[in-house]
Amino acid sequence: FDDMLAGEKVHVVVKTCFLMVANPLCELRGRLLATNYRLKFQTPKGSLREDMQWMRDVGYFDVPMGTIEDVKEEKATTSAGAREVKLQITTKDLRTLVLLPATDEDSRSVLDAVAAFGVPGNPTLLFAFRHAEALWASRAGAGDADGWSIYDPAQEYARMGIETDLIQNARSPWRVSQVNAEYGLCPTYPSLLALPRRMSDQELRLVAGFRKRGRLPAMSWCGGPELGFASLWRCSQTTEGLMGQKCAEDQQLVELIRQGSGHKLDRDLLVIDLRPWKAAWANKAGGGGFEGYRRCNLVFGGIDNIHAVRDAWRAMGAAVVAVSEGEVGTWLKDVASSCWYDYIGAILGSTLKVVREINEHHSSVMVHCSDGWDRTAEVASLAMLCLDPAYRTQEGLLRLIQKEWCSFGHRFRTRLALGEPASAEYSPVFIQWLECVYQLVVQAPTEFEFAADVLLRLAAECVSNRYGTFLCDSERERQQKVMPFT
């Protein structure tokens, strides 16, 4: 077919297949192809009704293997005594496709293809690797920009006025440290970290031991000398527990963040624990905690966890399915009941607190949730979009994603179930963040050098298995298993 990608091969052809469409209610006759990248339903040329052309235009009939969340096979006998096989395919982008292959053998071939190419359990068997190999072999990608080189941490921190090996800056209270160069301090953090200049490596190791999963406070963004080196920091929760275990080095690091360059010594450090306060206390009972430190202004963000996000996303999908053209229906009620926009509002509210504190008061802010790789990534990166116009270009947006999501250990593979079956940890947190970005673009379109089309492309590609960017849970895993081969 015309739009085959480099490295894509057809493995299964179901010559006779029907696609059941709910609105308008009908059955489409065609054939089904299973490649190592997607399922593709094709109708005979000129047979698709005019009122259904949009489905072809938006790619409704193309389902990348990585987008498939679940496949169910049902076998039944019709009233005429004929045997019928039905495949119901549920996707991560909220589509439900019902296919009627002609035979049991056709159904089994499709199921085998989805298992082999969608959930092989080994990332090296995913399409991104075959796609890259084919591009390199044909040299078709020789003129394309290398996506892995979009983000250079040393250059990015130097741009913010932080002292690096590239540029010395004695005025900066922060420095780029190699303490995690081999990922020994924190395996889910990037190898280069911006940290307070006055903290020794040994003290930093003690702080990492006190923070959940070793995710100690590390800098995301700095306003440079223009903002008095006010900065944004991210981390995980403490592990003080109900017994109130303390770590002097952790308190020292937080105090150094508060002091910064020394021009705002009278202002408390704003610490935003992004969890609802009840959840934070429940985590504390389980060995977690939060900063009840002197000179810290602790506030709770009230952002619900990954399980609430997953439930809200599915409820939004159900609300869309329930829409009936020409009828008032229950759309507004269904959307409100999903709580999707309640969670969006909570994220944007915490982002606003961060931006105001840094921009208006030139004071640093620290944010965290439980592990520091979901809600923390959302609020930190949204705040950086608001504070720094460099991230509001298309390349800047991609650089921001590489920095705050990929390098700082958002669990893309686990959260989006890439190459493996969806678990209880499955949750479209990144999609939720893209929705937040969209809300910012709608409110201030002239401040961004990209439109909603870029966000939609990212939402599609993060689950397509076409690129290696989203296939891992950490920078370490990505560098070892994916970067050399995609």
| Phi, psi for residue 15 in degrees, rounded to 5 | -70, -35
CA dihedral for 91, 96, 97, 98, sign (positive or negative): positive
Is 235 annotated in the active site? Answer: no
Q: Give the span between the Cα atoms of 301 and 303, in whole angstroms.
A: 6
For residue 157, give both structure tokens: 């921190």
Strands 365-368 and 269-273: parallel
From the list 17, 235, 369, 472, the catalytic residue is 369
CA dihedral for 440, 443, 447, 451, sign (positive or negative): positive
Catalytic positions, written as ranges? 369
